[in-house]
Amino acid sequence: MVKIGNIELGEKPLFLAPMEDVTDPSFRYMCKHFGADAVYTEFVASEGLIRDCKKSFKKLQLFDFERPAAIQLYGHQIESMIQAAKMAEEAKPDFIDLNFGCPVRKIATRGAGAGMLQNIPLMLEMTKAIVDAVKLPVTVKTRLGWDNDSKVIVELAEKLQDQGIKALAIHGRTRQQMYKGDADWTLIGEVKNNPRMKIPIIGNGDINGAESAKNAFDKYGVDSIMIGRATVGRPWIFKEIKDYLEKGEIMKPLTIKEKVDLAKLHLEKSIEWKGEPRGIFEIRRHLSNYFKGLPNFKETRMKLVTLLDVPDLFKTLDGISKEYGQMDDSQQADDYSYFQY
């Protein structure tokens, strides 16, 4: 049984990774529908939160359907992060996650996110201060290190545990790699197999289906896996993985009609949460990816990412059902990468 603090997550739980402009409540709803065991908000800027930025504050809102759920925070100032953590605690998440892994230049070069990997003493001091400031479990998500010459994660994991965190998620790349190259799971496995480590270790990076998920559990022994980019436009990946882990069966591919129904539901939830037109703007990457690989789809795809009229969008989605009938994933091309996150 995997536990974060007193939160029981079952055996081999699957986590939805926090992703900016992706893991909003509408997408979290879709992923929970397909069996995600824990979800994270989009990451929240501590400075924006304490300055009462409306966008940052809105990200704190959680719903009963998505629990257990975490609010993820990032920043490079200890006092700001402490204040933000206390504000996040008031929103009553199940745990608070500290982002020490985002590689995006505008964040990392300010010393936040993966930038913390260049100042380990500050990272540890901040972690300890936040653990002491809140009553909720605190977790961390980070990377192997800043670059290939500074893969510090094995030693760092022990030090973070010593600060009182309740779980550690590790992305198997350095900050320098961004999202390029293959994730290196050997060091994630080394952290997990370190006898000093007592907290759950969550592996992240290149989990793109049932077989890669099973391999991560079997070969590296992680307690949980976290799935990011592969979920975009494919929230059913959680069911794919669970069916394979529990029954040894590959889930029957979804038909286009089933995908259309899911895209409609997602669109409805996005508009319900964000209104028009924002709810339409911010679901476009998902709508496009729901139908990844369909042949002769360029014109329809352009409609999905440009239309602003809701009835027209639903009409376009219905048209996909009519045109592509009962085609399923196995009949689609596998090299289509438009709008890849």
β-sheet bridge partners, residue 3: 8
Burial 209-243 (b: 16+ CB within 10 A, else e): bbebbbebbeebebbbbbbbbbbbbbbbbbbbbbb
Q: Residue 168 corresponds to which amino acid? A: L
Please indicate whether residue 31 is annotated as part of the active site. Answer: no
**C-alpha span between 138 and 129 (Å, rounded):** 11
CB 22 within 8 A of CB 42: yes
* 330 and 317 Cβ atoms separated by less than 8 Å: no
* CB contact set of 295 (below 8 Å; sequence gap of 6+): 332, 333
Cβ–Cβ under 8 Å, residues 1 and 92: no
Phi first, then psi: what are they for 202, rounded to 5°? Answer: -110, 120
DSSP annotation of 328 reads B
CB 198 within 8 A of CB 229: no
Amino acid present at 181: G
Rounded CA-CA distance 231/286 in Å is 9
Write down the catalytic residue from 4, 85, 102, 280. Answer: 102
Q: Which residues are catalytic?
A: 102
